[in-house]
Amino acid sequence: MNIAKIFQRLLPTPKEYEKIVLILKRDWVTFVPQVALFVFLGALPIAGYFLIQKFEPTLLATQWLPMIFILGGSAWYLFALLLFFTNFTDFFLDVWIVTNERVIAIVQRGLFHRTVAPARLYQVQDVRTVVGNCRAGTWRISF
């Protein structure tokens, strides 16, 4: 099935003469900081375990403290996974749909809140685009 047909059914108040011209999703580069944060959060309990094992090995020799570390680490990983999947949902469900009549921005905010903001093309009057590169502030291109 064509993705344009799927989005055609999901358009808010679709018109029969309205055709989808472009479907834009966020670029994967914008999700890289969240993945890096998840990897960092995932490495913290492992690094903490090795630091405790190296500098204070008597803590791990007790009977109940390793169980507390396992429970705390499990809770930590559940929190990290919750944060990651919430950010992934926000990233994946953000869509801009450009039709021949309007531009529709569908923005997911959290797990249960979605904002749909349509704008008719004849209402768009003055548009200015500024494109920067990796060295922000060095070169600017404006249209």
Regarding predicted confidence, which is higher, 43 or 137? 43
Three-state secondary-structure class, residue 94: coil
pLDDT in tens, 95-139: 888 888 888 888 888 888 888 888 888 877 777 776 666 555 555
Q: Within 13 A of 113's CA, how many CA atoms are on the CB side?
A: 2
Q: Which positions ≥6 away from 79 have C-beta within 8 Å?
A: 41
- The phi, psi pair for 22, rounded to 5°, reads -150, 140
**Residues 40 and 56 occupy one common structural domain:** yes
User: Is 28 exposed, middle or buried, given 0-12, 13-18 or 19+ CB atoms closer than 10 A?
Assistant: exposed
Question: Which structural domain, as residue segments, surrounds residue 104?
Answer: 1-26+94-143
Distance CA 18, CA 98 (A): 10
Write down the mean pLDDT value for the chain.
82
Same domain, 21 and 7: yes
Shared-domain flag, residues 74 and 37: yes
**Percent of the chain's residues with pLDDT above 70:** 81
Q: Rg of the chain's alpha carbons, rounded to an integer?
A: 24
Domain count for the chain: 2
pLDDT single digits (tens) 3-25: 666 666 667 677 778 888 888 88
Please determine, for residue 32, whether its predicted confidence score (pLDDT) is greater than 90: yes
Instruction: Report pTM.
Output: 0.70
Say whether both 80 and 39 belong to one domain: yes
Please check the confidence at residue 52 and state whether its pLDDT lies above 70. yes
Same domain for 53 and 8, yes or no, is no
